[in-house]
Amino acid sequence: MRFLKRVRLKSFFIIFIIIPLSVILASDKKAVSIKVDCQNMSDWSLDSLLYGRFFEHHGNDVYPGIYEQYIINTSFEKWYHKDEDSPTPFKDVKSWIVFEEIQPLRGLAYPFERVGRRDDIKLNLAEEPLNSERSQYIENKTDSEFVGIKQRLALPDYRISEFRLSFYAKSVQETEGIIIKIADYASGKILDESRFDLTDEWTEYVGRINLKENRSAAKLNNRHGIYELMIGLDKKGSVLVDQMTLFPADAVEGVWNPETIAKLKKIGVTTIRWPGGNFASGYHWMDGIGPVELRPTRPNLAWAGLEPNHVGTDEFLQFCELVGLTPLICVGFGYATPEEAANWVEYCNGDISTRFGKLRAQNGRREPYNIKLWQIGNEVYGHYQTGHTTAEDYAIRYIPYYDAMKAVDPSISMMAMGRDPGYHYEDHNAWNKALFKIIGNKMDYLDIHRYVRGVRRQEELAEWDLTRLAEIYLAYSPQYDIIINSIADLRGEYNVPDVKLAVTEWAEYLSLWEPELPHKFSQANGVFYAGMMNSFIRNGEFVKISCSHDFSAFGTNRVNWNVPLLPRSYVAELYSNVKADRLLAIEVNSETFDMEKEVPQMFIVKDIPYIDAVATATKDLGEIVLFIANRSVTSNYDVDIKLENVPGNRVAQIDTYEATDDPMEPISWENPDVFRIRTEEETVENDRIRMNIPFSSVVKLTVRE
């Protein structure tokens, strides 16, 4: 394997001293020594954008994850299935909805259901909409029964009982009014009911729905209560309904999910990449501006289903301002033209004398947003991607985007879509070489993505010692050091020294979930997160942006992500909450292990240290921080830390992230306490600190004057 010639654990600021394994095993105690030279400090600073998050318009992540609106298919459009008209060969994507068992019915917008007997009601998707292409036609053929439509909803009744409902309607045949009901799904009990008189013109109707402090016995993942929202008629007549929304009364500024805001602030998230992801490849930004109720609903070309465009440019950027985030906007490659991309820059950054700056002002925002980070394309190397292509074609066609967008605002920074060579190590960075050769200094950042999926087939898994495989997964980051270095070397090879690296999607999502392995919901997964962050910090002169992937940070009611904030996000909080931004030289003397064989999309690495550590400090050494990860899932280590050239007396705070029991146990609403963070204080004596670091743990050591 030719790529293995590059396999080396190299970094200017970290040295792993290898002790023969037999010597270590001869001792009852497993000992590690760490030496930090506090005078050997980097002349560059870590970037605050290392602590970002990635999300996209995928299932429930935006609605209600950010924009806390609970109705699915708000404009009653035809549901989009990728197998019908997919722009890529990737057709087997199933759209994410909350209750997948609901079946579509003729004449009814999915995932709504019929209320009443079939003979008593007529339903049709009418081509007479308020916006987009269709509205829902409801006709009651009786004079004595309530008939209509309903949607099953998973609502946060643990938090709030009052909701704000909005919908547009008009009468077709004379009717006494339209009725809205909310029922407990478990008991069928009607909890609230309202009647609205109608006109023969499209009119918005707004009301309140109260669950009356009800807590439904039917639960989604033991968290959200399940209810049914009904809309219909109790007398003969017919109506058209369109643009229906439902927000909790405690939504921030009427629309934003307060749980998500609290989580992002707690974690210390600094940047978010938007609108995707795969979704960005088929997105047109002008679909998402102007009055929300008049925006078109579009097929979600990446993930199936529908995109209502309620969160567009203004909403996303206002959310960033609310939470204190630096936005990173990804422009779709191929679907969005260079001219469209330049217009988007002008809409965000132009003053009101420009065409699109004036349009922004008309939409309610006079002052420019001044967005500085822009990316062209997402994973355009993938066959699953709308607009996928070759490296050479992408690089050639990238340049007109760069020129057009920079002509509008020369101060913006531009990001090109690279490829992680660790996925395809036999190509020797071919994709990235083409970008460096053709694009050169017309990119400020190169972006790569990494998802660790691990062993894919059960029969292959049977060949592994699962304890060793778990440690290989947790110790993935030495491979990423190699990958980062291989890309950094291209800067010199192609004489483009100022290009920086971004990793705007990364996570460990194992393909096979076994009780012995560190899946995404486990405490151990936080050790993987720490290793990746240590890699980014070690290489912080080159790596400037990082956006990890974690749906639990967004208040979603998605079935398989309806869990408490994942343990790894608490590790993220440890990393983001520091002032120390200069890298210090460090030596780590640790027991090591070898990868005996390959894992899919990983290459064999030898001498992997069980203990991984980085050290940072403020420029004046007022604060020194060490992040130490124990990748072993069985062994604790006694660690002796020596701080060299530290002036004055010091006090150390030790925050230890550890498992309460089994580090592989999944977190859930029923079992939220799979980890803990212990905090202790110690006095630094003779510039030394000694501690025991548990298996599968992360320690943040903060030393202050």
Q: Strands, E, within 297-340: which ranges? A: 298-299, 306-307, 326-331
| Dist. CA 475–CA 259, nearest whole Å | 32
Taking residues 116-133, report their average pLDDT: 95
Taking residues 372-399, report their average pLDDT: 95
Taking residues 245-270, report their average pLDDT: 97
pLDDT of residue 12: 39
Torsion 145-149-153-158 (CA) sign: negative
Burial of 206 from C-beta contacts in 10 A (0-12 / 13-18 / 19+): exposed
pLDDT of residue 425: 62
9 confidence band (pLDDT: 50, 70, 90): very low
pLDDT of residue 26: 31
Residue range 422-458, pLDDT digits in tens: 987 677 899 999 999 999 999 999 999 999 999 999 9
Taking residues 307-321, report their average pLDDT: 98
Burial of 232 from C-beta contacts in 10 A (0-12 / 13-18 / 19+): buried
pLDDT of residue 341: 98
Taking residues 210-231, report their average pLDDT: 91
Predicted TM-score (pTM) of the model is 0.93
Closest CA to 69 of 387, 309, 318: 309
| Dist. CA 543–CA 535, nearest whole Å | 9
| Residue 406 confidence (pLDDT) above 90 | yes
154-163, 307-316, 332-341, 552-561: least confidently modelled range: 552-561
| Residue 11 confidence (pLDDT) above 50 | no
Instruction: Count CA atoms within 13 Å of residue 588 on its CB side.
Output: 27
Q: Which residues contact 698 (CB under 8 A, 6 or more apart)?
A: 526, 527, 530, 571, 574, 627, 628, 629, 630, 656, 657
Q: Which residues contact 495 (CB under 8 A, 6 or more apart)?
A: none
Q: Which residues contact 492 (CB under 8 A, 6 or more apart)?
A: none
Residue 391 backbone zone (phi > 0: left; psi -120 to 50: alpha; other: beta): alpha
| Dist. CA 352–CA 371, nearest whole Å | 16
| Dist. CA 548–CA 642, nearest whole Å | 32
For all residues of the chain together, what is the average pLDDT?
A: 92
210-219, 356-365, 458-467, 489-498: least confidently modelled range: 210-219
pLDDT of residue 213: 84
Q: What are the DSSP calls for 62-74, one per residue?
A: TTTTTB----SST
pLDDT of residue 29: 57
Torsion 7-10-16-17 (CA) sign: positive
| Dist. CA 515–CA 506, nearest whole Å | 23
547 confidence band (pLDDT: 50, 70, 90): very high
Residue range 211-221, pLDDT digits in tens: 988 888 999 88
Bond preceding residue 327 cis, omega within 30 of 0 = no
55 confidence band (pLDDT: 50, 70, 90): confident
Query: Which parts of 15-157 fold into alpha helices (H)?
Result: 21-25, 82-85
Name the strand (E) or helix (H) holding 538. Answer: helix 525-538
Burial of 399 from C-beta contacts in 10 A (0-12 / 13-18 / 19+): middle
Both ends of the chain: CA-CA distance in Å?
Answer: 50
| Residue 506 confidence (pLDDT) above 80 | yes
Contact 292, 131 (CB under 8 A): no
Range ranked top by mean pLDDT from 85-99, 418-432, 608-622: 608-622
Q: Which residues contact 43 (CB under 8 A, 6 or more apart)?
A: none
Instruction: Compute the C-alpha angle 518/524/527, nearest 5°.
Output: 120
Q: What are the DSSP calls for 661-681, one per residue?
A: S-TTPBP-SS---SEEEEEEE
Contact 667, 222 (CB under 8 A): no
| Residue 621 confidence (pLDDT) above 90 | yes
